[in-house]
A and B are shown apart, each in its own frame.
Chain A
Amino acid sequence: MTEKPYHDIPGTTLFDAEQSRKGYHLNMFCMSLMKADNRAAFKADERGYLDSYPMTEAQKQSVLDRDWNGMIALGGNIYFTSKIAATDGLSFQQIAAKMSGVSQAEYAQMMLDGGRSVEGNRSKKEQARG
């Protein structure tokens, strides 16, 4: 992995060339969920549906586990993986809560209180210094 300046931003994965190459089939699977028939077929047999895409086993498992951060690490893009959330009837805010490791109620309250502060969240170096 070539080191990029944005790798220093904590809790953030930019969908760059490297991620896009890695995640192509995962994201194209997500794209297929734009059609109602495909959503039904996926819900009826998730494993079988995933097997029709040339995804890695780890990518398939991350989808089955609804491991939202795992999907991102394996090349998923949020605008694509959110189509799985839509298929599950989950909102963006619900999966954002899961990705940041808090309950939906806690996340919603954080947003009402003005959102996550950028202080302490700008860089890994800054965080390491405390």
Chain B
Amino acid sequence: MARITAGVATSHVPAIGAALDNGKAGDDYWRPVFAGYEASKAWIAAEKPDVIILVYNDHASAFSLELIPTFAIGCAESFAPADEGWGPRPVPTVEGHPALAWHLAEQLIFDEFDMTIVNRMDVDHGLTVPLSLMFGQPDAWPCKVIPLAVNVVQYPPPSGKRCYNLGKAIRRAVDSFPEDLKVVVFGTGGMSHQLQGPRAGLINRDFDNAFLDRLIEDPEAQAAVPHLDYVREAGSEGIELVMWLIMRGALDPKVKVAHRFYHVPASNTAVGHLILENPGCA
């Protein structure tokens, strides 16, 4: 049977991808960011997941304003890195897992989460930067990836509670998949940041660290936090953090913290990162 062994949360700042792609990872500015992921690279090399369900948001790359799905699941064989205006990132094509993705789509819809099914989609930095942070610069990504895109661009995004419950439904769906697969769920985006208007550059360390604490210890309480609190305290783009609750919902109520990292700044953004293990499921 398929099983979810762990969850990974990380920011997906585009400048991190650009730093890596342009050979600047060793610069004084970027070294502390990448240092925070050294243990993570060793962890995932040992963990060897077969499939990653990668929760992220598209940034007006695959989805414009013509079509704005709240929850979209990528069921294709593969997904190409998107051209975000500077040409595509020089990273491998992302290989999907259509059998598990379609199973998830079916089971989630039966479970009353009405997913949008996507058979053709380019994937932007929201998906590829987390892979780069965890795997470095390989010739091919070492496992299959199922993209799960969440709308956080058009207000309102789904509520924290809805995201948390989607995570629980993902857990049930993975548990019912007959093939023996090791699955890790990624929740990405955040942490505090605001990219627009006179309040651009907002960072809130206290909010971010309280979020990390509660995501680990009391995710039910964090799931009840309304959108307005995220926007006010963590910036207009800090609302991306609701996506971390999908990852958390897919894990056991009690988890083991394998790694925790926080750093300010990466360009305009606070970088946060967690690795959470399901006890007894490794």
Contact = CB atoms under 8 A, between A and B. Distances in A.
B195 A92 contact: yes
A117 B202 CA distance: 6
Given A12-B194, A34-B84, A5 B228 contact: yes
B201 A115 contact: yes
B83 interface: yes
State the majority secondary structure of interface residues on B: loop
State the majority secondary structure of interface residues on A: helix
Contacts, number: 142
Interface string B193-235: 0111111111111010000000000000000000010011101
Contact of A34 (B83, B194, B207, B236): B83
B138 interface: no
B155 to A, nearest CB: 4
Contacts of B198: 10-11, 69, 99-101
B85 interface: yes
Interface in A80-122: 80, 82-83, 86-87, 91-93, 96-97, 99-101, 107, 110-112, 114-118, 121-122
Nearest to A98: B200
Interface stretch (B4-12, B58-66, B109-117, B160-168): B58-66
A36 to B, nearest CB: 8
Contact of A114 (B60, B86, B200, B205): B205
Contact of B154 (A20, A36, A78, A107): A20
Contacts of B204: 115, 118
Given A34-B83, A87-B85, A72 B196 contact: yes
B270 interface: yes
Contact of B197 (A5, A11, A35, A39): A11
B108 interface: no
A79 B59 contact: yes
Contacts of A5: 228
Given A72-B196, A92-B195, A122 B267 contact: no
B17 to A, nearest CB: 12
Contact of B196 (A12, A31, A86): A12
Contact of B155 (A15, A36, A122, A123): A15
Interface in B27-64: 59-61, 64
A116 B201 contact: yes
A9 B232 CA distance: 6
Interface in B135-185: 153-156
A27 B197 contact: no
Given A9-B232, A78-B195, A115-B264, A31 B60 contact: yes
B65 A27 contact: yes
Interface of A: 5-6, 9-17, 20, 24, 27-28, 30-31, 33-36, 39, 69, 72, 77-80, 82-83, 86-87, 91-93, 96-97, 99-101, 107, 110-112, 114-118, 121-123
Interface of B: 14-15, 59-61, 64-66, 83-86, 153-156, 192, 194-205, 207, 228, 231-233, 235-237, 264-265, 267-268, 270
14 contacts: A6-B228, A9-B199, A13-B196, A16-B154, A28-B66, A30-B60, A31-B64, A33-B85, A78-B237, A80-B65, A92-B14, A92-B15, A115-B270, A116-B201
